[in-house]
Amino acid sequence: MTTGEYKIEVEKVTESEWAELLERFEDANLYQTWPYGAVRWGENNLSHLIMKRDGEVVGIAQLRTIRPSELKVGIAYLRWGPLFHLRGRDLDPDVVQAMAAALRQEYVGTKGLYLEIVPNAFLGSLRAQAFESGFAGFERTSGIGNGEYRTMVLDLSPPLDQLRSNLDKKWRNQLNAAERNRLQVVEGDGIEQYRTFGKVYAQMRARKQFSTKVSIEEFERIQQRLPSNHRMRVLLCEQEGQPVAGLVCSELGDSAIYLLGATNEQGMKLKGAYLLQWALIRSLKERGIRYYDLGGINPEANPGVHHFKSGLSGVDLSHISSFSACDSSLSRAAVKTGQMLRNGLLRFQERWVHA
């Protein structure tokens, strides 16, 4: 398919080739990796679109497609994409506009699907402006998921001593206490390290007795499949060789995102979570990562986590709302039905937990 000066290729890339393409983009992220999509959504439900200009790849997108029949009905879901910010270059508005047109033509026009795009772009950023301009012809929606993403983002460009002085005073005091507790931090990306983290996570769940939609087993399968340069990083905090806390993060493009964290009872006493976060910040700076996304906040539902993350003195940011497009009344009806069923299930779960 050709759109003006751009050439569009769909389903013409291998998993290894896709991994190489991700390296070209500043806005690359875990949710656009092939292993994440294959494990989370199923290999057969993935779709990959590549856009080239003058033979150079300038934009890519991995989508989840749900098509219950051979009819032109279903959903195409794009999480934290498309990717169009090439490394070392300024954002090109023409590329964004062309990508918007290509996605609409392929998934709405040709396939007849309801297309939803959840951008990886924070309100007020240059990337958000590029999305809002390039996708101007799309509808704005709160999305099939849980609404817009809100988090704390720490700019890692200042010197390390300045980042430490910027920490909230109480947070810095807790870090000082942790450093006096003779703890060791071990860092790596191996499966055994991830499984060790899983044991600490299980201890935390047993202590807190909380429900969660997060599956650490699913993340383990993703980790096993990711190429070595895209694997999630695992940090473990140990006391005399015994793990007491841990975290898992992903770093791709210019950013890292905090995915999972766990602290057992001993780790709580020793302030292990503070030491881990600071060790990760130092490690990210050493590898040239510019931004650290602390992985989402909800001050009302989880004030304790919000308070902890706020202590790192990042900026409170939210993603822009989703974009959607659909020309098929059948696909639109399928989405509305799915949302009604999902909302009903969530209300039931809330009542069940409350009871």
| Whole-number pLDDT of residue 256 | 98
Residue 144 exposed, middle or buried by CB count within 10 Å (0-12, 13-18, 19+): middle
Calpha distance 55→331 (Å, rounded) = 34
**Residue 196: pLDDT band by 50, 70, 90 thresholds?**
very high
- In this structure, of 81-95, 145-159, 251-265, 292-306, the range with the lowest mean pLDDT score is 145-159
- Tens digits of residue pLDDT in 14-30: 999 999 999 999 999 99
- Residues 19-34: b if buried by 16+ CB within 10 A, e if exposed: bebbebbbbbbbbbbb
Q: How far apart are CA 94 and CA 173, in angstroms?
A: 49
The secondary structure of residue 74, as a DSSP letter, is -
Cβ contacts of residue 223 below 8 Å, gap of 6+? Answer: 189, 191, 194, 231, 232
Residues 6+ apart with CB under 8 A from 143: 116, 118, 321, 322
Q: Which residues pair with 2 in a beta bridge?
A: 7
pLDDT at 209 over 90: no
pLDDT of residue 2: 63
Is residue 158 reached through a cis peptide bond, with omega within 30 degrees of 0 on the bond before it?
Answer: no
Q: Where are the domain boundaries for CATH 3.40.630.30 in the chain?
A: 2-148+320-354, 151-317
Residues 27, 79 contacting (CB under 8 angstroms): no
Check: CATH 3.40.630.30 for 2-148+320-354? yes
Q: What Å distances lie between residue 194 and 200, 248, 251, CA to CA?
A: 10, 8, 16
- What letter does residue 209 receive in the DSSP assignment? -
Instruction: Tell me: pLDDT of 345 over 60.
Output: no
Mean pLDDT of 87-91: 94
From CA 322, how far away is CA 273, in angstroms rounded? 33
Helix (H, G, I), strand (E, B) or coil at 291: strand
pLDDT confidence tier of residue 287, bands split at 50, 70 and 90: very high
> What is the distance, to the nearest Å, from the Cα of residue 80 to the centroid of all Cα atoms in its chain?
7
pLDDT at 148: 80
- Name residue 79's beta-bridge partners: 118
CB 149 within 8 A of CB 319: yes
Strand order in the sheet with 233-239: 184-188, 233-239, 242-252, 255-263, 291-293, 150-155, 315-318
Q: Which CATH architecture has domain 151-317?
A: 3-Layer(aba) Sandwich (3.40)
User: What are the backbone dihedrals phi and psi of residue 298, each rounded to the nearest 5 degrees, phi first?
Assistant: -145, 90
Q: At what angle do helices 34-41 and 15-22 cross, to 10 degrees?
A: 130
Does position 145 have pLDDT exceeding 80, yes or no?
Answer: no
Say what the pLDDT of residue 349 is.
38
